Amino acid sequence: MATEMALVKPISKFSTSSPIFSNSRYGKFTTVRMSSTSQSTAKAAAKGGKKAAKTAIKETLLTPRFYTTDFDEMEALFNTEINKNLNQSEFEALLQEFKTDYNQTHFVRNKEFKEAADKIDGPLRQIFVEFLERSCTAEFSGFLLYKELGRRLKKTNPVVAEIFSLMSRDEARHAGFLNKGLSDFNLALDLGFLTKARKYTFFKPKFIFYATYLSEKIGYWRYITIYRHLKENPEYQCYPIFKYFENWCQDENRHGDFFSALLKAQPQFLNDWKAKLWSRFFCLSVYVTMYLNDCQRTAFYEGIGLDTKEFDMHVIIETNRTTARIFPAVLDVENPEFNRRLDKMVEINEQLLAVGETSDIPLVKNLKRIPLIAALASELLAMYLMPPIESGSVDFAEFEPQLVY
C-alpha cells in the first residue's frame, strides 16, 4: 500500500497524552512513537530531546490509517468449495509473479542519502520528515493487513494466502526503506509501538477490496508521476529516495492488479447497484482525502518543483481511468465541476483549520465549525451526486501482469 485513505471528516484533530518519543534504541536517534502530521511535532522531532518528548500528538482524521477486517468472512470468500468463481490458475500465475521478486535487490542505500539529507534545511527539512513519516506509516499499514490476511487464509486458500504474505514482504521493504530515510534525519519510527498503539479501522472485506485497490493504484500513479517529473527536472532531485520510485511503483501496480483479480473472483461486489454506489463513494473518499492532505503540504510538492494541485489532478485522473477498468462506476473527475468543487473544499478546510488555531474557547470553536462542516458536507454530496461514468466489466478487466508505463 502506498498511500493513505481516510473517510473524509472535516474535524481537524484530537490529542492523546502518550509520549511520542522514547529513549531511543537507535543510539543517537530520536524514536518517533506515533505518526504525527503536525508541523510543530515534526519540528520538535527534528530537535529531539526533552522538549520534544512533551509535545502532544496531533493526529488528524486525514492521517494514514491501519485497517482490520472480518477474517472469518474473508476465509469464506476464498474457500474454493464455496466460491466457484475463484480462478485458481490465475492466482497461481500471479503467485509466480510475486515469487519472482523483481525488487529483491532494488532497495539498497548509498552514501548519497545522508549527504542529501544534511543539505536539506529550513522549512523543507521539516516537511520532508513529515513526508517520510506519513509514507512509512501508510506502507506499514499495508504490511500489517497483508501479513494478517496471509496468516488467516493459509488453510482455506494457500495460494491467495501466499500472495498476501509476499505482498506484506514488499510493504515491509517499502516501510523499512522509508524508515531508513528517516534515519538520515536522525529519526526513526517505532513500528513495533505503532502496531500496538494505533487504533485500527474496521472495514468489511468488500470495502477492504475497494479501498486497497484504490490505495495501491493511486500509490502507483503518485510514485511514477514524481519519478518522471524528477527525471525530466533533475535540478529538483534533492533526495535520492525518488530515484527508487520507478521500480518501487511497479510493486504497487502488481498489488493493485492482485486486488483486481480478487474483485473479479467476487462478482457480487461489482455487479449490482450497491456496488456502483460504493465504488463511487470510495473513489470520492480516496481522491478528496489525498487532495485535502496534499493542499495542506504544498511546500513539499513545490520543494520538488511540482504544482500540488496539478500533480494531484493528474494522479486522480489517471487513477480513475485505471479504476474504470474494474469498478462498475467511477466519478467524472475530468468534468471541470469536479475540480472546482475540490478547490472549494480546500478553501473550506483552510477556514476550518484556522478556527482550530484561534484562541476561542472550545464551545465557540465548535459553533464556528458547524457552518463550515455543513459546507464541506454539501460539496462532498454534490460531487458524489454528479453524473457518474458507468464503467468496468468483470469480463473485460483482464489481469495485466506486464509493466505499465
Residue 252 or 318: which CB sits closer to Fe ion? 252
Residue 4 or 252: which CB sits closer to Fe ion? 252
Instruction: Report the candidate in 306, 297, 287, 333 with the shortest Cα–Cα distance to residue 133.
Output: 297
Distance between CA atoms of 208 and 130, rounded to whole angstroms?
26
Are 361 and 19 spatial neighbours (Cβ–Cβ below 8 Å)?
no
Residue 161 or 389: which CB sits closer to Fe ion? 161
Residue 30 or 260: which CB sits closer to Fe ion? 260
* Shortest distance (Å) from residue 256 CB to Fe ion: 8
Residue 75 or 216: which CB sits closer to Fe ion? 216
* Shortest distance (Å) from residue 238 CB to Fe ion: 22
Indicate the helix (H) or strand (E) that contains 12: none
Residues contributing to the site for Fe ion (CB under 5 A): 1-2, 139, 171, 174, 216, 252, 255
Length of the chain: 405
Residue 64 or 388: which CB sits closer to Fe ion? 64
How far from the centroid of its chain's Cα atoms is residue 45's Cα?
22
Cell numbers at 244, concatenated: 527508487
The three-state (H, E, C) secondary structure of 226-285, written as one string:
HHHHHHHCHHHCCCHHHHHHHHHHHHHHHHHHHHHHHHHCCHHHCCCHHHHHHHHHHHHH
* Shortest distance (Å) from residue 136 CB to Fe ion: 10
Residue 219 or 240: which CB sits closer to Fe ion? 219
Long-range contacts of 243-250 (CB under 8 A, 24+ apart): 244/106, 244/107, 244/177, 247/102, 247/103, 247/106, 248/103, 248/106, 248/107, 248/174, 248/223, 249/2, 249/219, 249/220, 249/223, 249/224, 250/102, 250/103, 250/220, 250/403
Distance between CA atoms of 290 and 100, rounded to whole angstroms?
32
Distance between CA atoms of 46 and 65, rounded to whole angstroms?
23
Which letter does DSSP use for residue 188 in this model? Answer: E
Distance between CA atoms of 141 and 171, rounded to whole angstroms?
8
* Shortest distance (Å) from residue 258 CB to Fe ion: 9
* Shortest distance (Å) from residue 250 CB to Fe ion: 10
Instruction: Report the candidate in 144, 100, 396 with the shortest Cα–Cα distance to residue 251.
Output: 100
* Shortest distance (Å) from residue 251 CB to Fe ion: 6
Residue 273 or 405: which CB sits closer to Fe ion? 405
* Shortest distance (Å) from residue 4 CB to Fe ion: 12
* Shortest distance (Å) from residue 368 CB to Fe ion: 39
